Every structure is written in structure tokens, then in C-alpha cells.
Structure 1
Amino acid sequence: MINSTIKSLNSDQSVSLLLNELKTVNGHFLLVADENWDSVNWADILNYSSCNVSIISNRYDIAKKAKAASISTYFNDLDFSGFKPKSFDGVFFRVSKERANTHHVINQSAYLLKSGAALMLSGEKNDGIKSYVKKASMLFNTSSIPTKFGNQYLAKISVSVPDDFKKLDDSNYSSMQAVKALSKYGLASKPGVFGWNKIDRGSAFFVDHLPILMSSFKHSPRTLLDLGCGYGFLCYQAKSFDIKNITATDNNAAALIAVKANFKNSEQRVEIVASNVGDVITKNFDTIWCNPPFHKGFLVNSDLTSRFLEATCRLLASDGHAFYVVNSFISLEKKAHGLFKSIQLVADNGSFKVIALSNPQRNAIKQTPSAKIN
């Protein structure tokens, strides 16, 4: 393994370890790129790596950037069924925040890797990297000790897997599942969606205040955009307010699968769109609902809130109303200043706050929508 002093190509140092390792290998390699790979300059990979690289990503924005760099790229919910068994000389993965995701990737690597090929895992101690390396080593019938580089660890786990190996528990990753917390709503979810097996407390706080928020309208809005829809908990509430036309968008492939399943038999007209904060959407909406993230993988991303607000400013009808719920410590009101003439704090329980936005000022937008991935 190479020296840890090589300059990082990514703000996530565990991803950087994998990219540095990629410089030293030859063959056909699969990079499993989730949200932790957000800052990678994909064009550089072709410049410094001589191996054949394929990328699978469950994030629309990452897949779009990788494809734009002319790298063989697959955007899906970590569905590896399109690859031939034992077709890769290596699989590179920075462990995920979600255990089910990581176990799923490790399990699938057992099928994808050639005999004697290796799974490269990276992450920090608090990410559970040592435990994952131990589990993968047992699964692959081998042993591996992760090497420490500062706060990060990198492990090479060679494959020697029996045909009847016992998979790690991935919570039935590929399946839509009934969730007890969602049963009264008739909703289902799946691993891979943020907070997949619960109701987000911020979203619940938002829904509690929807009657107050919707009183802003003289007439019931006809169109709704759920910006960052997850499995669809927020936009599912639209039926209580007779909103017939819904657009649900997310950059997470698992979320798109889940929300599609939840609205399969709906009487409402629902359009489901893969996007990077609504970048491919061009029409305007009477109302926009949003519970935006503020993390990218293990890292806090301070720009995310601003990007969601700019998208909302661009997509909200001039006489429309947008409603946000965020953690109370997020300075959304400050970030929204200049983008909206009206910014109203509706409720704050000390943990979450609900904010209403109206009168969008489109001339204040810095970003422009980008092209759709084909």
C-alpha cells in the first residue's frame, strides 16, 4: 500500500485512500461510489489510472459526474445483477453510514470478484471499519488487518469464498418492506433510504403543522414538489389537502424505488424524478415541501441548504408557498435572505423548526439547472 502523504483528491480521506490505491493496480476494477464520493474529480481517474474502471453509484449527482468523465457508470440502487459473476479484479468501497448498505456490498463482492481478487475497504474507526474488515475476512475465508493512515484505515481482503457461504445480514437490502412505524399510513420502505425504518422526527413535526401552513393558500394548490422525497412520507400527506399533481424527486436511487412503490396505486398523479436538488426540473409549482439533508456521507456539507433554497427559489411559482423543516441550529432564515421576500418562522420546538417561504426572487439565484443524465 502506498504512502499516506500523497495529496488527497477528495474531502473524504477514506475515499482518497482508495483512489490512491487505484494508481497502483491493473485489471478491471469496480468502484462502489455512494454519497461519500461527492467531491471526486472523476476526470482525474482516467489520467492517473491505467486500469479498466467501472462505477456503480446509488447517487444521481455522482453518477452524472462520473458519466460525464466518460467512465463506465451505472446509476441504480446498488443492483449488481447486471455484472457477470467473478468479473472483477477488485472492488473498492468506502464503508457506508448504513450497516445494511455495507453488508450488501460485501455480500455482492463475493460473487463479483475473481478467485484471488480483493475487496478494498476504507473508513475510520468510528465508522466500524475494523468490524467490517473482520466480518468480510470471515466471509471470504481469509484474514486481513487494516492499515492505519492517520484517522483512516485501509484493508485488502482477498477472496476465497465457498459456494455455500453464509451472507452477512443486509436487512434484505433489495426488498421493499412493511415498517411498523409506517403501518398506519400504508407506506413501505427499504434499506438504502435515509431513516428507512422510521418516521423522521423533523418530518413528523412538519406534518403536524401542515394545516397551519396550508392555510396560506386561498385555494388548494394544484401542484406539489417534494424536494428530497425519501420514501415519500411528506408528499403522501398531500391527499389530505386535495393536491392532485405531485412531483417527487431525490438523488438516491433507493428513495426513488420506495416512493414509486408507495404511490403505485395512488389516485393522485405522481411523477418521480431522479435529480440533483431538482436540477432537471423546469416547471414551477404551487407549493414545495422540503426536509433537506445537511450531511454528505459522514461529512457535514454547509452548502446543501443553500442549494436546496436556490432550487426552491427557481421552481416555486411566483404566488406559491414553500415549506421547510430543518434542525433548529440550521440558519435557514439567513441563507434564504435575498432569495425570498417573505421568510416566516412558523414553529420551533428546540430540535426542529418549520419555515414558510414565498415571493421568490429569481434574479438572486447563482446556480443554473444542469443537464439530465441519459
Structure 2
Amino acid sequence: MSLALNTLLHQIQSGSFGLDGRRIVFLNAMFHSDLSVLRERDLTVQQHFKPYENALVGAGFTVQPDIPCDDGAYDAVCLLVPKNMVEARYFLARGIRLLRRGGVLICAAENKAGGTRLKKMMHSFGVQDLCDDARNKARAVWGIVHDVQEDELEKALNAGGVQDILDGKFTSQAGVFGWDRVDKGSELLTQYLPLDLKGRGADFGCGYGYLSEFLLSNCPKIKQLSCLDADYRAVELCRKNLAQFNQDTQFMWCDLTQRDGGLKNLDFVVMNPPFHDGKNTDLSIGKNFIETAHQSLRRGGRLWMVANNHLSYEHVLNHMFLKCDKVYEGQGFKILVALK
């Protein structure tokens, strides 16, 4: 994403958009030292992913996790376009809605993450006077919003917005991990979780709430469940999907790789930790999840986790916990339980 951000900021720094005195919103923003070019303007910054939000806040920006709702209120929209097509079209449609007539939409994406199709996508929504610039293995595209293709906008907003999935059992949204399905690893984990789990627990990386819903539906002795995720959208979806339960629940938007969350003396933690940073495998994410789980559990508490077979978490678990057992291995996954 940084390559796309470099390309987008290059165009802004050129001064060709005349942004002085204009009201601007930056959607899916990430921190960059050159972002200061926008700091003195009437700027709204949106980011739903906690690590990116933390970096922006640390640099002095005020950040909101939700896309603004004041349609037609902005002179310019900057957007780092997500890789997922449905999510990308949704963000583009929301950005167009935010613009006044004659406003400018400035977008960027890496070539291998949708940059090569970006101009065509914007044209399909009716964005006019399109220009583009390719550099840094990324592409920036910008244009003016006058008369848009309302049918295309509505299709994108409906396809990428909050919606029911799995025959109405859950509510989800494009962009959240495994948003329209049951993750195979999580499904396997539910087959091995003991139904006598009790007390206070947590679901690390809760997503839209599949594991949390299973726990509250099948483990009546649970008194409190905390649901944590780095994606603000996931936390809010999980909140909606657990609204029918009477057990005490709390929902936390936090970065679990930074020992965030502040939970202590838990009886159990369940998790299916992410292991990708973009397109690259990153074992440190899961290892940091494990460290945060260890910090959050009481002595005698247990961590239940599922991971892909090729991810070697056992040495971390054996080093930090009293003992670690592999209770299942197959179908490309393994299920591990560790006692603190």
C-alpha cells in the first residue's frame, strides 16, 4: 500500500488539484511523512484498521474509523483503494457520494492490487475527465464528479455494504476477513473446543463473530466474553451478531500484535490468528497474538488456537506456556491447546 500512497501523494504535492481552502476527506488513509501536505487543510481522515490508525494518531492526525455520512459535503476525496474488488467498488462509490458536484476524486492502488483496472472502474461510475499516472509499481487515477451512473453506484453500495450472510445467521461486510463464508480453520476449531468452557474468556481476532457465536451458543457457563479485532468493521459486526445473547460481552478495537486490549486473568482465549501482511506470510503476527494471550490469561488458563500446518507456533507456545498439546492435525490445519 505504501507504493500506492507514494504515487497518490506525488500527485497531491504537484499542486495540480488546487486543494487550498477545500474540504478534503482521505479514505483508507495510511501515514506517510509527506501527508503533512494536507495537515493544514480542512481534512477528515478515515481508517478502520487499528495498526494504521495508531500510526496516524501517533503523527498527530485525528482519525475516525467510519466512512463519513455527510454526502455531498467534500470538495476532494483521496482514496487508497483496497485490493478486494467488491470492497474497492464500495469505497469508490462511498467516495463519490461524499463529493459535491464538480468535486475531485483522487485514487491510487498498486498495479498488482487493482491499479491497472482502477481507471476502468472509475469510468464505470461516471467519473469524468480521468487522468492517470503510473510510477512506483502503482497507479494514481483522478477525475471530476458531475453526473454519475446511479445504477452502478447502487450496485456497488449494496454489494459491499453490511448484509446478511449464511442464510441470515450472521451480518457481515466485504473487506472483513472471510466475510461471506465460514473459515475452514475456525470451523475445525469449533469441533474440538470443550463445551464446558467457563468464566471469563476472549476471542482474539473475532472477525464478524463466528467463534464467539459458537461459544455463547454452546458453552452456558461462560460469564463474560471479550471480542477483539484490529478491523473496526469486524468489531461492530460481531457486536450485532451477538446482540441476542444475555451473557456479558465486550467489544474492543485494538492491535493484538502490540499487547493491546488490557485484559487480565482470563480463564480462556480462543483464536484463529492472521498470518499474512499483505501477500506475504508473517509468522510474527501469530507469535504476537500468542504473547498477548499469555499476558491476558490467569495461571491455569488455556489458549485454544487453530493454525495452518506449515506455521510453526509450537516452539513459541512451549517456551511461554507450562505445556502445549496438539489435539488435531489434518485437512491442512492443526489445533493447539496451551496451559499457562
TM range (shorter): 0.7 to 0.9
Q: In 2 relative to 1, CA 334–153 (structure 1 residues): closer, same or farther, beyond 3 Å?
A: farther
CA distance in 2: counterparts of 1:177 and 1:302, whole angstroms: 32
Residue pair 1:86, 1:115 contacting (<8 A) in 2 also: no
The match for 2:202 is 225
Q: In 2 relative to 1, CA 55–48 (structure 1 residues): closer, same or farther, beyond 3 Å?
A: closer
Whichever residue aligns with residue 65 of structure 2, its letter is: F
CA distance in 2: counterparts of 1:22 and 1:338, whole angstroms: 49
Aligned counterparts, 1:284-303, within 5 A: 284-303=265-284
The match for 1:356 is 337
Residue pair 2:176, 2:231 contacting (<8 A) in 1 also: yes
Stretch of structure 1 that moved more, 344-353 or 264-273: 344-353
The match for 2:285 is 304
Q: CA deviation at 1:101?
A: 2.0
The match for 1:235 is 212
CA distance in 2: counterparts of 1:140 and 1:86, whole angstroms: 19
Q: In 2 relative to 1, CA 306–232 (structure 1 residues): closer, same or farther, beyond 3 Å?
A: same
Residue pair 1:29, 1:53 contacting (<8 A) in 2 also: yes
SS of 2:120 mapped into structure 1: helix
The match for 1:19 is 9
Please, which runs of 5 or more residues in structure 1 have no aligned partner? 1-10, 360-374
Stretch of structure 1 that moved more, 23-32 or 312-321: 23-32
Q: Alignment partner for residue 189 of structure 2, among 186, 197, 206?
A: 206
Return the structure number with greater strand share: 2
CA distance in 1: counterparts of 2:139 and 2:277, whole angstroms: 20
Q: In 2 relative to 1, CA 52–331 (structure 1 residues): closer, same or farther, beyond 3 Å?
A: farther
SS of 2:72 mapped into structure 1: coil
Q: CA deviation at 1:300?
A: 4.1
1:279-318 residue CA offsets vs partner (Å, 9 max, x unmatched): 1323221000001112244454443112211111110111
- Pair 1:85-2:75 in alignment: no
Q: In 2 relative to 1, CA 110–344 (structure 1 residues): closer, same or farther, beyond 3 Å?
A: same
CA distance in 1: counterparts of 2:324 and 2:10, whole angstroms: 46
Whichever residue aligns with residue 319 of structure 2, its letter is: G
Q: In 2 relative to 1, CA 41–134 (structure 1 residues): closer, same or farther, beyond 3 Å?
A: closer
CA distance in 2: counterparts of 1:50 and 1:187, whole angstroms: 42
Q: CA deviation at 1:350?
A: 4.8
Q: CA deviation at 1:220?
A: 4.0
1:223-264 residue CA offsets vs partner (Å, 9 max, x unmatched): 110011011111212231222311111121211121111111
1:71-113 residue CA offsets vs partner (Å, 9 max, x unmatched): 232122xx320x3524233x22222132232112211222223
CA distance in 2: counterparts of 1:48 and 1:259, whole angstroms: 34
- Pair 1:245-2:231 in alignment: no
CA distance in 2: counterparts of 1:247 and 1:49, whole angstroms: 36
CA distance in 2: counterparts of 1:310 and 1:164, whole angstroms: 48
Q: CA deviation at 1:134?
A: 0.7
**Two-structure CA RMSD over aligned residues (Å):** 2.7
- Pair 1:59-2:42 in alignment: no
- Pair 1:157-2:136 in alignment: no
Q: CA deviation at 1:55?
A: 1.0
Stretch of structure 1 that moved more, 223-232 or 273-282: 273-282
Matched-pair identity in %: 18
SS of 1:155 mapped into structure 2: strand
* Count of residue correspondences: 330
CA distance in 2: counterparts of 1:200 and 1:220, whole angstroms: 22
CA distance in 1: counterparts of 2:11 and 2:39, whole angstroms: 10
Residue pair 1:95, 1:102 contacting (<8 A) in 2 also: yes
Q: Alignment partner for residue 105 of structure 2, among 116, 119, 123?
A: 119
Aligned counterparts, 1:1-374, within 5 A: 12-25=2-15, 26-27=19-20, 28-33=23-28, 37=30, 40-41=31-32, 45-46=35-36, 51-76=41-66, 79-81=67-69, 83=70, 85-89=72-76, 91-142=77-128, 144=130, 146-162=132-148, 164=150, 166-167=152-153, 168-180=155-167, 186-211=169-194, 220-238=197-215, 239-242=217-220, 243-277=222-256, 279-359=260-340
CA distance in 1: counterparts of 2:72 and 2:57, whole angstroms: 23
CA distance in 2: counterparts of 1:234 and 1:164, whole angstroms: 38
Whichever residue aligns with residue 149 of structure 1, its letter is: R
Residue pair 1:116, 1:160 contacting (<8 A) in 2 also: yes
Stretch of structure 1 that moved more, 46-55 or 286-295: 46-55
Q: CA deviation at 1:135?
A: 2.0
Please, which runs of 5 or more residues in structure 2 have no aligned partner? none
Please report the TM-score for the alignment, with normalisation by the length of structure 2: 0.86
CA distance in 2: counterparts of 1:191 and 1:259, whole angstroms: 14
The match for 1:368 is none
Q: CA deviation at 1:331?
A: 1.6
SS of 1:310 mapped into structure 2: helix
Q: CA deviation at 1:141?
A: 4.1
